[in-house]
Structure 1
Amino acid sequence: MSDDHVYAALAEGHEDDTRWAYGTGFEDPLHGVDTAVPAGVDGAELAALCLELGDDALVSAQRLAEWTTRAPELEEEVALANIGLDLLGQARLLYARAGQVDGTGRGEDAYAYFRDAGDFRNVTLAELPNGDFAFSTARLLVLSSWRLAHLQALTASPDPVLRAVAAKGVKELTYHRQYAAEWVVRLGDGTEESHRRMRAGLRQVGAYLGELFEAHDAREEVLAVLGQVADTAGLPVPEAVPGDGGAGRLGRHTEHLAPLLEELQSVARAHPGATW
């Protein structure tokens, strides 16, 4: 099996970036950035966008955290934890920005711990149970490709804070996508059983592509990545099933989100106002 070319192509344009390890670095991405809402930017719309992106990241991070002690190898456990930490960091910055511009002054904990499932605006794919490793890597490939395209567009946002958060996120998501692509190829071009599972995983995530493209139209970018990786892995490209009007963005979620949030929020709700 030779798959080096697919990773090289996915990393094109990012050759000088430092590999992630607990994030892409420890520099504050907002250092020196003016936090005032720019003229002509609607604060409510900006807050809503930050909340959507923050919810996608937080819920995805929580699902990745569930692989701790369950991943196939210790190295993968660490890698998935690192990816989750990257997403958690993005969520914190986005929630903080939402609180600055929505007029409430709420901090990041208020958004993460003290909202119910119906108040969350994450895409549905992020909240689904992990399933097997093949499904989780297929989901990571799709979500990281889609989020990367979204944040790349936001590096030109008129809001300097969102612009800075997006620029940091692009570096992180580039390697999230590479990691997922590597595993999709390994499993797709591996044993008969791993091929079967990877094929099934891609088919499952395909059912949620329509919702992703309704939330942010990155169809061309995502399908190009999926086509490239699937071809290398000897797998069919999943078909994008039409969405239902962006259910997750409207607060319509599966039965899986509430239990996820119950676990995530349990300590904060048991000790409201506590700090540690």
Structure 2
Amino acid sequence: MSDDHVYMTLAEGHEDDTRWAYGTGFEDPLHGVDTAVPDGVDAGELAALCVTLADDALVSAQRLAEWTTRAPELEEEVALANIGLDLLGQARMLYSRAGQVDGTGRDEDAYAYFRDPGDFRNVRLAELPGGDFAFSIVRLLVLSSWRLAHFERLTAHRDPVLAAIAAKGVKELAYHRQYAAEWAVRLGDGTEESHRRMRKAQEQVAPYLGELFTAYDVRDEVVAVLRQVTEAAGLPMPVYRPLPGSGRIGEHTEHLAPLLAELQGVARAHPEATW
């Protein structure tokens, strides 16, 4: 199966080819949306959900930013940077919504810059060091497929703000998944070396897959996507044995603290600064 065929198959249902939606369009996805928490929606649970989704996006965006000046080609450097900007945009809106409904009044900077590693609720796969290009592609394929499945469901959420954020994110995540799928096929079905590196990347990612499927009913959908891409790439479907612990309860790898130290350094050095 060619990478073009995989791209077209995964694109079914996402025919709107809007890309790099954050920062490039002029339509505010939250314009006119009622920000009051609907009756029957628990504000604490809503805030917690927004924070977890935002933490996944922020940490992933920081890892993708590390490819700036290091990607194999300029085109891929721009693509990865823009995927990171999409995720950063999602994080900003989700943090803002959390601050609106959790009673603290915190803004997006408070969530991003002034929490310690144990306060973050991102999945651990997002925080692992970037490794080589193959590892980043495998991770992006897994996380974008998983996040897209969530966001498609969240478009029907009872909170209209979260539903609007999800609807915007679906367009972005559909492209992130397609981008990763194309590269997965090229590398898996490419040279002996690229195939070897993809196999190694799969082995590195596999132990963290179990954490993605513990709290949400998206496993079958995500596994089907991964199987479709790996078959086209001539790669085996990874077998995973879940590691103990979970980033969702603040149990992280040793890699999150240095990542946050770099991310938060300037803001913490100048906490009263305005930009």
Question: Does TM, scored on the shorter chain, surpass 0.5?
Answer: yes
Give how far 1:207 is off.
Answer: 1.1
1:240 aligns with 2:240: yes
- Other structure's SS at 1:71 match: coil
Give the aligned partner of residue 193 of structure 1.
Answer: 193
Q: 1:214 is paired with a residue of what secondary structure?
A: coil
RMSD value over aligned CA atoms? Answer: 1.3
Q: Which amino acid aligns with 1:213?
A: F
- Which residue is 2:264 aligned to? 265
User: 5+ residue gaps in structure 2?
Assistant: none
Residue 37 of structure 1: CA displacement? 0.3
Residue by residue over 1:34-76, the C-alpha shift from the partner in whole angstroms, topping out at 9 and shown as x without a partner, is 0000000000000000000000000000000000011001000
- Once the two structures are TM-superposed, the CA of residue 243 in structure 1 deviates from its matched residue by 4.6
Match of 1:17, SS? Answer: coil
**Separation (CA, whole Å) in 2 of partners of 1:216 and 1:126:** 17
Q: Distance in 2 between matches of 1:3 and 1:120?
A: 36
TM-score by length of 1: 0.97
Q: Does structure 1 retain, via aligned residues, the 8 Å contact 2:3–2:181?
A: no
TM-score, reference length from structure 2 = 0.97
Structure 1 gap ranges (5+): none
Provide the aligned length of Structure 1 versus Structure 2.
275
Which structure 2 residues correspond to residues 1-16 of structure 1 after superposition, within 5 A?
Answer: 2-16=2-16
Shift of 1:204: 1.5
Aligned to 1:39: 39
Report the Cα offset of residue 215 of structure 1. 3.6
**Map of 1:135-146 to 2, 5 A cutoff?**
135-146=135-146
- In structure 1, the partner of 2:82 is 82
What are the equivalent positions in structure 2 for 1:72-151 lying under 5 Å apart?
Answer: 72-151=72-151
Deviation (angstroms), 1:23: 5.5
1:181 corresponds to which residue?
A: 181
Amino acid of the structure 1 residue aligned with 2:79: A
Residue 25, structure 1, aligned to residue 21, structure 2: no
What do the CA deviations read for 1:113-144 (whole angstroms, capped 9, x no partner)?
00000000000000000011000100000000
Residue deviations 1:55-101 (CA, integer Å, cap 9, x gap): 00000000000000110010000000000000000000000000000
Deviation of 1:244 (Å): 2.7
8 A contact 2:123–2:247 mirrored in 1: yes
What is the distance in 2 between the residues matched to 1:72 and 1:193?
15
Contact (CA 8 Å) 1:21, 1:82: kept in 2 or not? no
The 8 Å contact of residues 24 and 172 in structure 1, kept in 2 or not, is answered as no
Separation in structure 2 between the aligned mates of residue 181 and residue 72 of structure 1, nearest angstrom: 17
2:251 matched to 1:252?
yes
Letter in 2 for 1:253: H
Q: Is the 8 A contact 1:185 1:232 kept in 2?
A: yes
- For residue 4 of structure 1, report the CA deviation from its aligned partner: 1.5
- For residues 138 and 2 of structure 1, do their structure 2 counterparts lie closer, same or farther at Cα, with a shift above 3 Å needed? same
Deviation at 1:239, TM superposition (A): 1.6
Instruction: Provide the C-alpha distance between the structure 1 equivalents of 2:50 and 2:19, rounded to a whole number of angstroms.
Output: 26
Amino acid at match of 1:84: G
Aligned to 2:213, the other structure's residue is in SS state helix
Using the TM superposition, name which of 261-270 and 203-212 deviates more.
203-212
Structure 1 window deviating more from structure 2 (209-218 vs 178-187): it is: 209-218
